[in-house]
Amino acid sequence: MKEKEYATDYTLTELMIVCAAKQVRDGDIVFIGTGLPFLACALAKKTHAPNLVPCSEEGQIDANPLLWRTPRSIGDLAMTAGAMMATDLLGVMHRLTYGEFDLGFISGAQVDKYGNVNSTVIGDYKKPKVRFPGSGGANAISSYTKRHVLIFVHRKHQFVDKVDYITSPGYLSGPGGREAAGLPSGTGPVAVITTLGTLSFDEETKEMYLDAVHPNVKVVDVKNNTTWDLKIAKKVKETEPPSKEEIRMIREDLDPFGIYLKRDEFQKKAIEFLTSK
């Protein structure tokens, strides 16, 4: 068996894509969006999970957008390429609420130790300091998928003891919280992939704990960027670096134009192109 060759020139975004891809199991039915979750699922399908079924909020089921190009948004027509079925928003959300999805990915402005996510307001709801777009499909994803993964920039003002508003439920107040609220038993967040490492959830307390740190990150760095007394695994792992082949696939097959890998650069070029006309 050929020894795995690790990449040395990967970016943090690419590392997070690989970490997110590892949360996908072969055969999973996955509720995907564009951006990092799309790239993670596409990578998983090309590597260890060839039988995963990606489904988009717009209604495309088991599509392969890369037959055309990297999709720029959830409404991009490329999302329909190669689809086994093209339904609509209502059809996909109906399937979601009936528990047909194994996995989903969400993010937000704040997250707390029980994995509750806020993407609605900072401050008082009626007189907020900042108002965000809100749930979109995130509440349904966190409520009804069998498991979901959170993706966050790990900063102190985002990892808070209590979110200002629960847009998307994690384990709410702890053990039994989801069931008491009428959510399906056995569901909830399973991991938080951040710019500093990966956090998991204790099966008994439902509280988040640090499971792995990325290369060159120390445990104290994670604790210093978390407002509550973050629990630490007995043996904190170090994130395995991406392989050379994983990085090649991400750069050459999944996002060759850098739509997500080089978002700022891509947007600048797009603006220059549009304004030159």
Indicate which CATH number applies to the domain containing 45: 3.40.1080.10
- b/e map 30-62, b = 16+ CB within 10 Å: bbbbbbbbbbbbbbbbbbebeebbbbbbbbbbe
Structure token digits, residue 134: 């809100």
DSSP at 255: -
User: Is residue 58 situated within a structural domain?
Assistant: yes
Output the CA angle 126-130-134, nearest 5 degrees: 80
User: Is residue 45 situated within a structural domain?
Assistant: yes
Task: Give the whole-angstrom CA distance, residue 178 versus residue 137.
Answer: 18
- Mean pLDDT per block of 10 residues along the chain (277 residues) reads 86 97 98 91 97 93 92 88 90 92 97 98 95 92 98 97 98 97 97 98 98 98 98 98 97 94 64 55
User: Is residue 1 situated within a structural domain?
Assistant: no
User: Is residue 196 situated within a structural domain?
Assistant: yes
Structure token digits, residue 79: 């999302």
User: Is residue 171 situated within a structural domain?
Assistant: yes
Our count of domains for the chain comes to 1
The domain containing residue 218 runs over which residues? 12-275
| Cβ-contact 62, 53 below 8 angstroms | yes
Mind telling me the catalytic residues? 57
User: Is residue 6 situated within a structural domain?
Assistant: no
Structure token digits, residue 168: 């998307």
User: Is residue 43 situated within a structural domain?
Assistant: yes
CB atoms within 10 A of CB 107: 21
